[in-house]
Amino acid sequence: MSELLVSEQTNTSIIEQIKEVIKQKHVELLHLQFVDIEGILKHVTVTAEQLDDVVEGKIMFDGSSIKGFSPINRSDLYLLPDLQTFAVLPWTVENGYAEARFLCSVVNPDGTLFEGDPRNVLKKTVERAKQKGYTISVGPELEFFLFKTDENGNVTTEPQDNGGYFEPSPKDLGERVRLDIYRALKAMGFTIEASHHEVAEGQHEINFKYADALGAADNATTYKWVVKTVARKYGLHATFMPKPIFGINGSGMHVNISLFKDGENAFFDPTDDNQLSETAYQFIAGLLRHVKSFAAITNPLVNSYKRLVPGYEAPCYIAWSASNRSALIRIPAKRGLATRVELRCPDPSANPYLAFAVIAEAGLDGIEKSSTCPAPIDEDIFHMTAERRAELGIENLPGSLGKAIEELEGGAIGRHTLGDHVFNEYIAMKKNEWDSYRTAVHTWEIEHYQTKF
């Protein structure tokens, strides 16, 4: 969100400021952005002269052309921009002219929120939390890979470099790309906290400051778009695919989440041994109880479950700890206002609006039911025997998208959070995806079976 628009203001005041920026920056085009059920960014472009129609929500589109949105006989939908998301796109500034964007919610012709819009799903979760007296704070950490492209611009399977964790140049060849990404995000109002090479070859991470749940999802969506756009300028392809290369670490989207009540962090209690409140323990308990049934949202691809295997830092066992990075849930060291719960299984292919919604709802359910949190696991779970895990009652996350879909369909948290429309469309879409993968003949099978049998 642009720093220009941070303070509380009336819509009229914000619109006047937007008009002034459009005039000063010579903005010609406005991109009205939204996401489909998978979290894929879409947009329609109008001229800056149509700003008044834009802010009044008069720009219409065909919802039947967006996967999972509307049937053809009820296809008219409208885009209602969130004025706080207005930003000039720094890479479009050329010859004194520029382009800008708004992130939008999707509304029906009568002005009501369209139930198939993932942004509206998260809005409902935020509102339910508000009714309980809570504000949700989220800080996501999205990793990505940079791959080379060939002379025709097609993506290859060759990482851009062979650098490792925190390595500088010349091993890290992504420094210049990350710098340009940082500059673009900063110009769009982001506060960047860190940038570095990750563990795997060609893997990177840029961390931005936490925000309220809706703002964090907006930022995650924007971040993925900016990363891909800037990488393309360098002839590279940025991917948020969870496990693009066998045998090395995959990409995660660790989600740091906390609740605030009356301006205080509801997870902090200085008198507790871990300095965690009863609310925090109940929230953790809710996550542990529901994680199997929301994994298909936070880890939505066939490929997601090739990351969630032992040996590559990604958690695959359901447990929590105050510090143990082999656990599904970790409590970072900072306390006070910074006290938070870090869920480590989500990956960056997830739709952030849906992911943050189900995570928050699962935790809130734990609070509402006064759930009892199990004991923390401080041993290295990755190196435990199966017998030791069974002794401690440590269960596994779903091992495949197929199993995760079954858990989502059979659990309560998915339908409650997503609503009937998104829930049914999402289940149908993921079942089709799983069936397509399950029935396909893969290269591995040809290599291992064709000549042997």
The set of catalytic residues is 62, 141, 143, 198, 205, 254, 325, 342, 344
Distance CA 299, CA 283 (A): 20
**Structure token digits, residue 226:** 């900016």
Work out the end-to-end distance of the chain between its first and last CA atoms, rounded to an integer number of angstroms: 59
HSE at residue 102, side-chain half, CA atoms within 13 A, is 29
* DSSP-derived 3-state class of residue 443: helix
Query: How is 207-231 classified by DSSP, letter by letter?
Result: EE--EEHHHHHHHHHHHHHHHHHHH
- Residue 6's Cβ-count burial label (10 Å; 0-12, 13-18, 19+) is exposed
Tokens of 154: 């097609």
Q: How far is CA 270 from CA 244, 366, 375, in A?
A: 43, 21, 19
Which two tokens mark 55? 């802010």
How far is residue 171's CA from residue 165's CA, in Å, rounded to a whole number?
10
Number of H helices, E strands in the chain: 12, 19
Rg (CA), the chain: 22
Nearest to 35, CA basis, from 92, 116, 112: 116
Q: Write out the DSSP string of 153-200.
A: S-EEEEES----TT--TTT-TTHHHHHHHHHHHHHTT--EEEEEE-SS
- Nearest partner of 78 among 47, 117, 39, judged by Cα: 117
From the list 216, 248, 42, the residue with the least C-alpha distance to 145 is 248
Look at the chain and count its residues: 453
Contact 170, 164 (CB under 8 A): no
Alpha carbons 41 and 33: distance in angstroms, whole number: 7
What distance in Å separates the CA atoms of residue 362 and residue 377, rounded to the nearest whole number? 21
Separation between Cα atoms, residue 426 and residue 118, nearest integer Å: 11
Burial state string for 193-213 with b = 16 or more CB within 10 A and e = fewer than 16: eebbbbbbbbbbbbbbebbeb
